[in-house]
Amino acid sequence: IYGGKSPEERKSELLSESFAEFEEQITRREEAMCIEALFTGKVVVEGEGIKGEIKYGTINNTVPATLWTSPNADIIGDIQGAITSIGENTGLRPEMILMDPVAAKLFVENEKVQKLLDIRNYHMGEVNPSELPSGAIYIGTLAPFGLPIYSYQTQNSILSADGKTYDNKSLIPEGTVLLAPSNNTVAYGPAADVTQGIIVAERSVFTDNDSKSNTVEIRTESRPLPVIFDIEAIKVLKVK
């Protein structure tokens, strides 16, 4: 498998693979926590000997008078109303619109939206779907709001009740639209090690060498926590 590589080269390659795997696991956990915070207003924390909830407040969930599944849906009015509500309550303005794939499909296929874009020669904005490296799809920008619109969904594998199989669970609720400012962030707690002491960083790397068993144990620790700048500046439209 390793060809003519030296022991040190093989060790380096194995360590790189392990760190890459750790990074992916941590990043997916961060993403899941942020989605949970933005859509539910809380984060469930579970670990060895720890189980609890961190509550930020109540997310403003709104169901439009006419769902987007109807050809008579006032999609532009719903978005405008959400932006206005956020501005009146907080003085802030969302900087992007995030739709799950179901809501995004209803948006781009709505005849009123399509006609509005065509009649005004795209002065209302542009719809130009393109996939980004993160897996999100950039749908376009809708003026006069000037807000980019994205479609995104991600899944986690959840252990089934039988303890043997896994089910895929979508993290972003189906048929939802999220409007939020970008000044939300992620804070990181300290990690502790008996030899290195207290380390405050996004990623803390620890290496334990065991000369008796001739092994090296490595681990990457991270203690992320989403920080919501203003819970009232987040609005979720349930459009389906």
Task: Report pLDDT digits (tens) over 189-224.
Answer: 998 887 788 888 999 888 877 777 777 788 888 999
pLDDT (average), residues 112-138: 65
Residue 97 CB neighbour total at 10 angstroms:
25
Residues sharing a CB contact under 8 Å with residue 187, sequence separation 6 or more, in sequence order:
224, 225, 227
Alpha carbon of 169 to those of 2, 81, 156, 183, 197: distances in Å?
37, 31, 5, 28, 38
The band of 126, judged by pLDDT with boundaries at 50, 70 and 90, is low
Cα separation of the two ends of the chain = 51
What global pTM score does this model have?
0.83
Residue predicted with more confidence, 228 or 1: 228
User: How confident is the prediction for the chain on average, in pLDDT?
Assistant: 86
